[in-house]
A and B are shown apart, each in its own frame.
Chain A
Amino acid sequence: MSSTSTATLRADTIAVPHEIIVAGVGLVADPAGALFLEAEALLVLADLHLEKGSSYAARRVFLPPYDTAATLARVTRLVAHYAPRAVIALGDSFHDRRAAERIHGADVESLRALQAGRQWIWIAGNHDPDPPAGLGGEACGEFRSGPLVFRHEPCEGASPGEIAGHLHPVARVVTARGSLRRRCFASDGERCVMPAFGAFAGGLNLRDVAFSRLFGSRVPNAHVLGRDRVYPVAARHCFGD
């Protein structure tokens, strides 16, 4: 029983490529919940929330201390597949300011291995406003690439091209066959809110007022994470919880 076991991840997770277009730029949306900008070989991940499990321990709620390992194992698979030149972690990469003190040695090793030979950017988030000490990478408030701007918290009225996290969108999809609730990308073509990537990160329903405030009358489509592909679903088919 080791914390580094990654056995059960499916080999077929990355199958049908699905593209989300933001401000005219096409990005590959991976069903694991990442974006890949092919031209720049840039892999983007939002809201890793590393060490969320251990953050409850001080309150004596003992969640399994394996969420960091589980999250990094999924990042490792994506990095192996896309071989990115740079990885952007879009903020809230660490669940709290003291996460770096608690992270397990084996997980630090995994992180180092991921960073080796590529640029690694920690965007500041509200959970982790300061760059993590001793965990490599470079820190910044936001990152630009062509028309795209990558930041943690989406801004109301931002100009087209914003790619952000923070809101943890999930969609509840209802059809005649039934109903399910999954993480999703939310995009109206001008901006994109990415799903949370962290193993213990919860979700906020797309119908929440936070999204309508952000997108206004431009109702976003949900790009819902399925088992082996991303499914675009019209907002009308997404329901409140």
Chain B
Amino acid sequence: MPVEFVDWFATRGWSPREHQLALLARAQAGESALLVAPTGAGKTLAGFLPSLVELAAMAAGPRNAPGGPGLHTLYISPLKALAVDVARNLEIPAAEMNLRLRIETRTGDTSASKRQRQRRDPPQILLTTPEQLALLLASPDSHTLFATLRRVVLDELHATVTSKRGDLLALDLARLRAIAPGMTSVGLSATVRDPDELRRYLVGQHGGKPHMAALVTAPPGAAADLSMLDTSERLPWAGHGAGHAIGEIYERIKAARTALVFVNTRAQAEAIFQQLWRINDDNLAIALHHGSLDASQRRRVEEAMAQGLLKAVVCTSTLDLGIDWGAVDLVINVGAPKGASRLLQRIGRANHRLDEPSRAVLIPSNRFEVLECRAAIDAANEGAQDSPLARAGALDVMCQHILGMACASPFDADALYEEVRSAEPYAATPRETFDAALDFVATGGYALRTYDRFAKIRRNADGLWRIANPAVAQAYRMNVGTIVESDVLKVRLVRGRVEARPAAVPAAPTRFGTLYAPTRLAGGREPGKAYTGPLSRGGRVLGEIEEYFLETLAPGDTFLFGGEILALRGIVENEALVSRARSDTPKVPSYAGGKFPLSTYLAARVRRILSDPELWKKLPTQVAEWLDLQTHRSLLPRAGDLLVETFPRGGRHYLVAYPFEGRLAHQTLGMLLTRRMERLGLKPMGFVANEYALAVWSVSDVGARAAKGLVSMDELFAVDMLGDDLEEWLQESALMKRTFRQCAVISGLIERRFPGKEKSGRQVTMSTDLVYDVLRRHQPDHILLQAARDDAATGLLDLARLSDMLARVQGRIIHRDLDRVSPLAVPVMLEIGREPVYGQAQDEILADAAEILVEEAS
């Protein structure tokens, strides 16, 4: 390391860490490398050190390039805010060592003039996001812009690679390597189970043995101080509100310097925030942060946090990654942690210093979550990580990339195919698949070749593919990226016509009151029948909300949003008009399950705890007693077994299975199982699923039939349900249609917006559903259907996991026919009525509605 750097470290009172030096050595040897380090280990500085050293040397040497040295280092972050923050932090050493560097960010917020200037006269270090990189690479000047590139730094790599964004980034990396062959890459990652996967990702693959980047590992930080709240209250059987523990959460916040309160869903965040303020007699500055809130509101909370003005923030995964907040000394995780790695990531948000342990307390909101919290704490203490889901690169992303490359410059299909395959996620892509993607980009990829004359890209006489005209490139730029927002509606506050605005919060005396305090409510009447027709528009936009959430509400229904209780007044175009409501009991819509299913690894640990009474000693007494009761009334399965209970209740016959594979897989299982039961004449009536179990009820007594040998559980749960039944169900599944819509947008089949014409998500939903129906019937092997099926395997349907589970439990199903509900079944039974019930056919909804009409008529 040059002496000026050694001096700089010294003036700061630091000495370079071993992994920082190791990474520098790797870079100086011209190697790509992965740095695995815990939070607080100086990861970012380590990532940039080689670039700074090299740039310092270049600045000292003779300048030969006219008009500046060009772009040297590219930094890619999954979060725009993180890129901005890192740029700011990087200015410090650059300025203090007088390196005279230009360090700039480029995000969606960067002005058009600055963007143009950046292309013409790039900074030496550019910090940006995967989407912006894709845009830069799709422009004709990409070859000159990146020709001087020496290094790419990929931050939070562990978080990026598991998504379609990671696929896009991998393809863009492949292009960068093609433009600047001497370039090396540096990946920065939190601890992961399998670093080799990331090491392959960082370098080009060329068939045969996988190539890997070098690995540099920093020593682990101090062990985290983890505990689970042993509540003095009664632990609920079900639900996710954690309302029982709110007083205890409040006390912990009070005792901490600054706390982050993590929850799994927006609805939970709203509920916890509301309840905390209800008991906030000390007027603690408690704020709310989740992805649906208006961006400016989120920024204000982040800034207040950075300035140390807040006591606590109730947040969702929006703050899992990101900017360091030194003041945070406590992480409170409410609800189930869902995965060992996610928990470690969240814990790391407290005390970003290596030598002090992070402090975190887990608050289970029901009994099963106690088991999950216990399993997660044990895993975290061992430093165990979830195994990532191995996934191949998404086909829709490849389609988008192919078009982007055509926008950059004419390409040769063979060369682009080789380039695509050099990206690790696409290393195994067969040529036919690539050709199908190419055909899709050109004319839609249909067997019926009617669009040839409208082709977006064409192969010319020189054998190169090029775009048909500039409008194609323009359309590409409008549609780049892999993040498809779920259909969202703006939430706009309007003045209620019937209800007056309730008395505002008895203004909190602190300055935070007006900013962060929810409207405190004066109790009282139901706002139910307040819908009065046409509404005035033009109020403030509070944020955005998913359309499927609103589908569960009727006008007049109340819900929590942005810390307030709002009544839905109506929906006009793509806006939900709401007014403040007077109600203490907002209608709680179905818990949307959270985005993260229980990880496979954690599920296995939970099953192990259940199977071993020795391990119950570490559990709260209430829970140990509950499990003990279960062993007397039914049984607890061994770790590899699947317990299925049947029992009668209230005139119905129930079947409850406990796979512990997460809600998504259980919902899919429920759909398929009820189809099979229907065929066997067992007359299933409906089912509910939660993270741990599935309950099906039916007219027939399945238990009695099984006892007589008329029904076999092994047959009921046989793997072959993933065959025809699945195909038939997929045809109608709303989840499949939602999956297809995402693929349609990412691949460019449907434009996010038509140039000059905003197309709202609601209209897109309509048309892609119809497109899906027609395409399925007429070209079931179309590349987009293949892409949607691939997504369904790991996404909303979690088929891969269901399939693994069914295979695992073959011959290991333990059936207990009981005379009444078992203790273990209580939680899932309580979900009935709270959760949407899935029936055989949606037509039953219509039958119900029609019946009402008949009753009224007669």
A-B contact pairs, 27 of them (CB 8 A): A1-B779, A3-B448, A3-B778, A5-B777, A7-B777, A8-B777, A60-B454, A60-B471, A60-B475, A63-B444, A64-B444, A65-B444, A66-B779, A174-B554, A175-B848, A178-B837, A178-B842, A179-B552, A200-B770, A200-B771, A200-B774, A202-B767, A224-B846, A226-B847, A228-B843, A233-B853, A237-B852
Q: For the complex, is B766 an interface residue (Cβ under 8 Å from A)? A: yes
Instruction: Give the distance in Å from the alpha carbon of A179 to the alpha carbon of B589 in the complex.
Output: 13
Q: Mark A207-232, 1 if CB is under 8 A from B, else 0.
A: 00000000000000100101110011
- Asked if A240 contacts B781 (CB within 8 A), the reply is no
Q: Mark B753-775, 1 if CB is under 8 A from A, else 0.
A: 01000000011001100110111
- Asked if A179 contacts B448 (CB within 8 A), the reply is no
Taking CB atoms, residues of chain B closer than 8 Å to A7 are 777
Q: For the complex, is B570 an interface residue (Cβ under 8 Å from A)? A: yes
Name the contact of A177 in the complex, choosing from B454, B554, B773, B837 (C-beta under 8 A). Answer: B837
Instruction: Give the distance in Å from the alpha carbon of A241 to the alpha carbon of B299 in the complex.
Output: 31
A220 → chain B, closest Cβ, in Å? 13
For the A-B complex with A65-B448, A178-B837 known, give 9 more contacts whose Cβ atoms are closer than 8 Å: A60-B472, A62-B454, A63-B749, A66-B775, A66-B779, A178-B845, A199-B774, A200-B767, A226-B843
Q: For the complex, is B446 an interface residue (Cβ under 8 Å from A)? A: yes
Name the contact of B778 in the complex, choosing from A54, A57, A64 (C-beta under 8 A). Answer: A64
- Asked if A104 contacts B450 (CB within 8 A), the reply is yes
A52 → chain B, closest Cβ, in Å? 9
- Asked if A231 contacts B447 (CB within 8 A), the reply is no
B768 → chain A, closest Cβ, in Å? 10
Q: Mark B821-847, 1 if CB is under 8 A from A, else 0.
A: 000000000000000110101111111
- Asked if B853 contacts A70 (CB within 8 A), the reply is no
- Asked if B846 contacts A226 (CB within 8 A), the reply is yes
- Asked if A66 contacts B777 (CB within 8 A), the reply is yes
- Asked if B554 contacts A239 (CB within 8 A), the reply is yes
- Asked if B846 contacts A64 (CB within 8 A), the reply is no
Taking CB atoms, residues of chain B closer than 8 Å to A5 are 777-778
Name the contact of B845 in the complex, choosing from A8, A65, A175, A228 (C-beta under 8 A). Answer: A175
Q: For the complex, is A67 an interface residue (Cβ under 8 Å from B)? A: yes
A104 → chain B, closest Cβ, in Å? 7
Q: For the complex, is A80 an interface residue (Cβ under 8 Å from B)? A: no
Q: For the complex, is B551 an interface residue (Cβ under 8 Å from A)? A: yes
CB under 8 Å from chain B, chain A span 65-95: 65-67, 69-70
Taking CB atoms, residues of chain A closer than 8 Å to B779 are 1, 64, 66
Q: For the complex, is B508 an interface residue (Cβ under 8 Å from A)? A: no
Q: Mark B461-494, 1 if CB is under 8 A from A, else 0.
A: 0000000100110010000000000000000000
- Asked if B778 contacts A180 (CB within 8 A), the reply is no
A182 → chain B, closest Cβ, in Å? 7
Q: For the complex, is B248 an interface residue (Cβ under 8 Å from A)? A: no
**Counting chain B CB atoms within 10 Å of each CB, which of A69, A199, A227, A241 scores highest?**
A241
Q: For the complex, is B443 an interface residue (Cβ under 8 Å from A)? A: yes
Q: Hey, which bits of chain A sit against chain B, CB under 8 A?
A: 1-3, 5-8, 53-54, 57-67, 69-70, 102, 104, 173-180, 182, 199-203, 221, 224, 226-228, 231-234, 237, 239-241
Taking CB atoms, residues of chain B closer than 8 Å to A174 are 554
- Asked if B852 contacts A62 (CB within 8 A), the reply is no
Q: For the complex, is B849 an interface residue (Cβ under 8 Å from A)? A: yes
Nearest chain B residue, comparing its CB with the CB of A203: B766
Taking CB atoms, residues of chain B closer than 8 Å to A2 are 447, 778
Instruction: Give the distance in Å from the alpha carbon of A5 to the alpha carbon of B774 in the complex.
Output: 10
Q: For the complex, is B359 an interface residue (Cβ under 8 Å from A)? A: no
Taking CB atoms, residues of chain A closer than 8 Å to B456 are 60
- Asked if A177 contacts B778 (CB within 8 A), the reply is no
- Asked if B773 contacts A57 (CB within 8 A), the reply is no
A240 → chain B, closest Cβ, in Å? 6
- Asked if A70 contacts B842 (CB within 8 A), the reply is no
- Asked if B551 contacts A179 (CB within 8 A), the reply is yes
Taking CB atoms, residues of chain A closer than 8 Å to B763 are 202
CB under 8 Å from chain A, chain B span 429-454: 443-448, 450-451, 454
Name the contact of B444 in the complex, choosing from A62, A200, A233 (C-beta under 8 A). Answer: A62
Taking CB atoms, residues of chain B closer than 8 Å to A58 are 454
Taking CB atoms, residues of chain B closer than 8 Å to A60 are 454, 456, 468, 471-472, 475
Instruction: Give the distance in Å from the alpha carbon of A63 to the alpha carbon of B773 in the complex.
Output: 12
Nearest chain A residue, comparing its CB with the CB of B455: A60
CB under 8 Å from chain A, chain B span 160-188: none
Taking CB atoms, residues of chain A closer than 8 Å to B845 are 173, 175, 177-180
Name the contact of B749 in the complex, choosing from A3, A62, A227, A228 (C-beta under 8 A). Answer: A62
| Interface residues on chain B, number (Cβ under 8 Å) | 57
- Asked if A65 contacts B777 (CB within 8 A), the reply is no
Q: Hey, which bits of chain B sit against chain A, CB under 8 A?
A: 443-448, 450-451, 454, 456, 468, 471-472, 475, 551-552, 554-555, 570-571, 731, 749-751, 754, 762-763, 766-767, 770-771, 773-782, 836-837, 839, 841-850, 852-853, 856
Taking CB atoms, residues of chain A closer than 8 Å to B839 are 177
- Asked if A176 contacts B777 (CB within 8 A), the reply is no
- Asked if B841 contacts A1 (CB within 8 A), the reply is no
- Asked if B842 contacts A1 (CB within 8 A), the reply is no
Instruction: Give the distance in Å from the alpha carbon of A200 to the alpha carbon of B766 in the complex.
Output: 9
Taking CB atoms, residues of chain B closer than 8 Å to A203 are 766
Q: Provided the pairs A5-B777, A240-B555 are in contact, do residues A66 and B448 lie with their beta carbons within 8 angstroms?
A: yes
Taking CB atoms, residues of chain A closer than 8 Å to B853 are 221, 232-234, 237
Instruction: Give the distance in Å from the alpha carbon of A226 to the alpha carbon of B773 in the complex.
Output: 16
Nearest chain B residue, comparing its CB with the CB of A61: B751
A228 → chain B, closest Cβ, in Å? 8
Instruction: Give the distance in Å from the alpha carbon of A241 to the alpha carbon of B554 in the complex.
Output: 9
A237 → chain B, closest Cβ, in Å? 5
Taking CB atoms, residues of chain B closer than 8 Å to A177 are 837, 839, 844-845, 848
- Asked if A62 contacts B770 (CB within 8 A), the reply is no
A201 → chain B, closest Cβ, in Å? 8
Taking CB atoms, residues of chain B closer than 8 Å to A231 are 843, 846-847, 849-850
- Asked if A1 contacts B444 (CB within 8 A), the reply is no
Taking CB atoms, residues of chain B closer than 8 Å to A57 are 444, 450-451, 454
Taking CB atoms, residues of chain A closer than 8 Å to B850 are 231-233
Instruction: Give the distance in Å from the alpha carbon of A63 to the alpha carbon of B762 in the complex.
Output: 18
Instruction: Give the distance in Å from the alpha carbon of A226 to the alpha carbon of B445 in the complex.
Output: 33
Instruction: Give the distance in Å from the alpha carbon of A174 to the alpha carbon of B847 in the complex.
Output: 11
Taking CB atoms, residues of chain B closer than 8 Å to A239 are 554-555
Name the contact of B852 in the complex, choosing from A8, A104, A226, A234 (C-beta under 8 A). Answer: A234
A21 → chain B, closest Cβ, in Å? 13
A173 → chain B, closest Cβ, in Å? 5
Taking CB atoms, residues of chain B closer than 8 Å to A176 are 848
Instruction: Give the distance in Å from the alpha carbon of A224 to the alpha carbon of B749 in the complex.
Output: 30
Nearest chain B residue, comparing its CB with the CB of A198: B770
Instruction: Give the distance in Å from the alpha carbon of A94 to the alpha carbon of B554 in the complex.
Output: 36
Taking CB atoms, residues of chain A closer than 8 Å to B552 are 179
In the A-B complex, the 4 residue pairs with the closest CB atoms: A62-B444, A66-B778, A231-B846, A231-B850
Name the contact of A182 in the complex, choosing from B468, B471, B841, B846 (C-beta under 8 A). Answer: B846
Nearest chain A residue, comparing its CB with the CB of B749: A62
Taking CB atoms, residues of chain A closer than 8 Å to B751 are 61
- Asked if B451 contacts A180 (CB within 8 A), the reply is no
- Asked if B731 contacts A8 (CB within 8 A), the reply is yes
Taking CB atoms, residues of chain A closer than 8 Å to B571 are 240-241
Instruction: Give the distance in Å from the alpha carbon of A237 to the alpha carbon of B472 in the complex.
Output: 45
**Counting chain B CB atoms within 10 Å of each CB, which of A1, A7, A65, A233 scores highest?**
A65
Taking CB atoms, residues of chain A closer than 8 Å to B842 are 178, 180
**Counting chain A CB atoms within 10 Å of each CB, which of B766, B780, B836 scores highest?**
B766
Instruction: Give the distance in Å from the alpha carbon of A143 to the alpha carbon of B831 in the complex.
Output: 55
B646 → chain A, closest Cβ, in Å? 24
- Asked if A67 contacts B849 (CB within 8 A), the reply is no
- Asked if A54 contacts B754 (CB within 8 A), the reply is no
Instruction: Give the distance in Å from the alpha carbon of A175 to the alpha carbon of B770 in the complex.
Output: 24
A174 → chain B, closest Cβ, in Å? 6
Instruction: Give the distance in Å from the alpha carbon of A70 to the alpha carbon of B846 in the complex.
Output: 25
Nearest chain B residue, comparing its CB with the CB of A200: B770
A185 → chain B, closest Cβ, in Å? 13
**Counting chain A CB atoms within 10 Å of each CB, which of B762, B766, B846 scores highest?**
B846
